[in-house]
Homo-oligomer: A and B are copies of this chain.
Amino acid sequence: MTPPVAIDRAEAVRHALIRLVARDGFHGTSMTAIAKEAGVATGTAYVHYASKDELVMATYVEVKHGVGEAALASVDAGSPLREQFAQMWTGVRRHLEAHPDRARFLVQADSSPYAAIAHEQALSAEDDPLMSSPVVARLLDEMVDLPPEVLFDLAMGPVVRLTATSRGIDESLAETLIEACWRAVTDSGSR
């Protein structure tokens, strides 16, 4: 008769970090505030993470993974590539619309010095579900000759940044934007 769900305090701390960074930025988010938001004592965060930086890293990696999974989960491998692209895009859109705090956390973490450190350490490539997916590999093949990170920025950057905004994305905006992003990374019949 264990309790139906033992509280995962490490997760509570990570999610509190996401919420506070989304609202107040990295400056203005203290460990004290995180612990309070998570409903946990100050010391508890340090049971699970050696330092604030380590907590931020772990959270960043978790959020990135979540986005990657959401992207892949919505792709039907039988569809044409252009269709697969729209499915991925929409998968990410829905995931981030369901978790707008993660979008806001992500854009800030991605453009902060944390991102550089994280990519050196944890996200080399095989750790990233997107990079190691054959579905994505086929899509990248179809695209313009540009480094993968640049292609990601062109293809998926706008969804992430827009869901992080108060504006949000309605159906018609989504449709127009998917087309714009596809056009950017693809160059069907030119030159």
Of A57-65, A81-89, A111-119, A128-136, the one touching chain B: A111-119
Of A8-16, A18-26, A67-75, the one touching chain B: A18-26
Q: A181 contacts B180, CB within 8 Å?
A: no
User: Which parts of A142-191 form the interface with B (CB within 8 Å)?
Assistant: 144-147, 149-150, 153-154, 157-158, 161-162, 164, 166-167, 173, 176-177, 179-181, 183-185, 187
Specify the chain B residue showing the minimal Cβ separation from A24.
Answer: B113
Interface mask (A12-51 → B, CB under 8 Å = 1, otherwise 0): 0000000000011111100000000000000000000000
Copies of this chain, complex-wide, total 2
Q: B187 contacts A179, CB within 8 Å?
A: yes
CA distance A167 to B148 in the complex (A): 13
Given A108-B112, A176-B145, A184 contacting B181 (CB threshold 8 A):
yes
Contacts of A173 in B (CB 8 A): 146-147, 150
The 4 A-B pairs of least Cβ separation, nearest first, read A184-B184, A107-B111, A26-B27, A183-B183
